[in-house]
């Protein structure tokens, strides 16, 4: 296949538009590994990129898609050989570099992780950047002392991609998981993922002028940021940690420092894009062990490249439930 299908973004007069195109292999960027991409995903950041928001893309025309899984076609690296199944998340792929919304990609071998044995290509992308980030958040909380006997763990934005995978992992590990959501229609879904209690997202926002409220959360995976993150901090238990991994509710956090000073609360930043390789391998191994793949299947919908324009608008409006896999051969 010397030509293949790709979703290409163009910019004209400051407006970004997307079109399905047939692209020749000569258009691929430099790199030592060429991959036949089978699946990518739709993450919140992909939604921003497809809408031309956030100044994430450096130059157009651009192939978006911040993650992918596929089979190595050609490799100039001893680390990979043709036929190997590989995963890519992050490293600014789909942002600064050619991404996963094309049937082929060419990347640096240092960016690739082998697909874990026992995980299908579709499952790897049902996890994708979002689920990988959820695992990094749980690992960070564990490294800061979180244990199942510590009490309730809050997940905000629980019906989204990062949130849903975090709920499923924490429940499998024996935690008492409280899911915060703004969508009443997702309650059954969240219970199936393992949440024991579900609260409305408005309840996580602390009353104004109250830097501390009763201690409740032993840990928190926050995918929302903004006022939600500010509202969670006053209710953290003594010495507990919040893994801050998202900004679906805004970048500005109108918070008091008092929870840090009087309760020793920890705010842990989670970045998945530039995470070093040893921690990537650890996270994928833990996902294979700790994420129930049956639950993952239940939270996944599958679309084709042609559906992305519509689905990307839905993810920006907070209307997507769980994870969206993009099947490049659909
Ligand atoms: N740090 C990293 O490396 C990294 C990696 C991946 C993703 N992220 C970030 O993590 C966040 C979640 O990503 P995702 O792919 O899971 O997106 P998603 O599927 O759209 O989930 C986001 C969820 O946030 C909640 N939400 C949306 N708008 C909100 C608002 N205005 N106020 C309060 N809650 C709101 C919704 O949950 P409910 O419907 O349950 O209320 C929504 O489902 C994004 O900000 C994304 O950029 C960061």
Break the chain into its structural domains and give their ranges.
3-115+299-327, 128-269
Confidence class for position 1, pLDDT limits 50, 70, 90? low
Distance 225 CA to ligand 1 centre (A): 9
To test the pocket of ligand 1, the residue of 40, 162, 200 to mutate (highest count of ligand atoms within 8 Å of its CB) is 162
Count of other CB atoms within 10 angstroms of residue 274:
8
> What's the whole-number average pLDDT of the chain?
96
Taking the CA of residue 247 as reference, the ligand 1 atom at the shortest distance is 45
Nearest to 23 by CA among 91, 99, 79: 99
Q: Return d(Cα 81, Cα 63) in angstroms, integer.
A: 25
By CB neighbour count within 10 A (0-12 exposed, 13-18 middle, 19+ buried), where does 286 fall?
middle
Does pLDDT of 207 surpass 80? no
Does pLDDT of 163 surpass 80? yes
Same fold for the domain at 3-115+299-327 and the one at 128-269?
no
Tens digits of per-residue pLDDT, 259-279?
999 999 999 999 999 999 999
To test the pocket of ligand 1, the residue of 223, 321, 324 to mutate (highest count of ligand atoms within 8 Å of its CB) is 223
Identify the weakest region by mean pLDDT among 175-179, 184-188, 205-209, 323-327. Answer: 205-209
DSSP structure class, residue 188: H
Taking the CA of residue 42 as reference, the ligand 1 atom at the shortest distance is 15
Please compute the mean of the pLDDT values over residues 139-149 and round it to a whole number.
Answer: 98
Kind of pairing between the strands at 85-89 and 113-114: antiparallel
Confidence class for position 206, pLDDT limits 50, 70, 90? confident
Distance 325 CA to ligand 1 centre (A): 16
pLDDT of residue 2: 87
- Joined together, the tokens standing for residue 301 give 């919908």
For 316, half-sphere exposure in the C-beta direction (CA atoms, 13 angstrom radius) is 16
With a Cβ cut-off of 6 Å, ligand 1 is lined by 43-45, 129-130, 133, 157-163, 181-183, 201, 223-224, 228, 245-249, 270-273, 315, 318, 320
- Joined together, the tokens standing for residue 85 give 């199944």
Does pLDDT of 217 surpass 70? yes
CATH superfamily, region 3-115+299-327: Medium-chain alcohol dehydrogenases, catalytic domain (3.90.180.10)
Residue 264 has phi, psi (to 5 degrees) of 60, 30
Fold observed for domain 128-269: Rossmann fold (3.40.50)
The structure tokens 């109108």 sit at: 254
Distance 76 CA to ligand 1 centre (A): 38
Q: Return d(Cα 182, Cα 224) in angstroms, integer.
A: 11
pLDDT of residue 208: 78
Does pLDDT of 88 surpass 90? yes
pLDDT of residue 59: 94
DSSP structure class, residue 80: -
Taking the CA of residue 201 as reference, the ligand 1 atom at the shortest distance is 41
Residue 145 has phi, psi (to 5 degrees) of 100, 5
By CB neighbour count within 10 A (0-12 exposed, 13-18 middle, 19+ buried), where does 306 fall?
exposed
Does pLDDT of 131 surpass 90? yes
């Amino acid at each position: 296949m010397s030509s293949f299908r790709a979703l290409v973004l163009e910019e004209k007069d400051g407006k970004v538009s997307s079109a399905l195109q047939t692209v020749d292999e000569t258009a691929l960027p430099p790199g030592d590994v060429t991959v036949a991409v089978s699946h990518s995903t739709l993450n919140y950041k992909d939604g921003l990129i497809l809408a031309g928001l956030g100044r994430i893309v450096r130059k157009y025309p651009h192939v978006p898609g911040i993650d992918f899984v596929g089979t190595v076609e050609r490799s100039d690296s001893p680390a990979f050989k043709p036929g190997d199944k590989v995963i890519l998340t992050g490293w600014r792929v789909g942002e600064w570099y050619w991404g996963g919304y094309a049937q082929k990609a060419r990347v640096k071998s240092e960016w690739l992780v082998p697909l874990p044995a026992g995980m299908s290509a579709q499952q790897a992308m049902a996890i994708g950047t979002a689920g990988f980030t959820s695992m990094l958040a749980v690992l960070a909380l564990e490294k800061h002392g979180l244990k199942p006997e510590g009490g309730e763990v809050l997940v905000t934005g629980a019906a989204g991609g990062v949130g849903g995978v975090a709920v499923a992992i924490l429940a499998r590990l024996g935690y008492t998981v409280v899911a915060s959501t703004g969508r009443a229609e997702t309650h059954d879904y969240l219970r199936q993922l393992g949440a024991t209690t579900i609260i409305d997202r408005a309840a996580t926002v602390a009353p104004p002028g109250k830097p501390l409220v009763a201690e409740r959360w032993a840990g928190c995976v926050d995918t929302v940021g903004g006022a939600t993150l500010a509202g969670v901090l006053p209710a953290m238990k003594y010495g507990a940690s919040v893994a801050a991994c998202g900004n679906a509710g805004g970048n500005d956090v109108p918070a008091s420092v008092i929870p840090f000073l009087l309760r020793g609360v920890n705010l842990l930043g989670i970045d998945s894009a530039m995470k070093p390789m040893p921690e990537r391998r650890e996270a994928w191994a833990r996902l294979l062990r700790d994420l129930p793949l049956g639950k993952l299947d239940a939270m996944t919908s599958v679309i084709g490249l042609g559906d992305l324009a519509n689905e990307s608008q839905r993810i920006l409006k907070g209307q997507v439930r769980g994870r969206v896999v993009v099947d490049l051969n659909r």
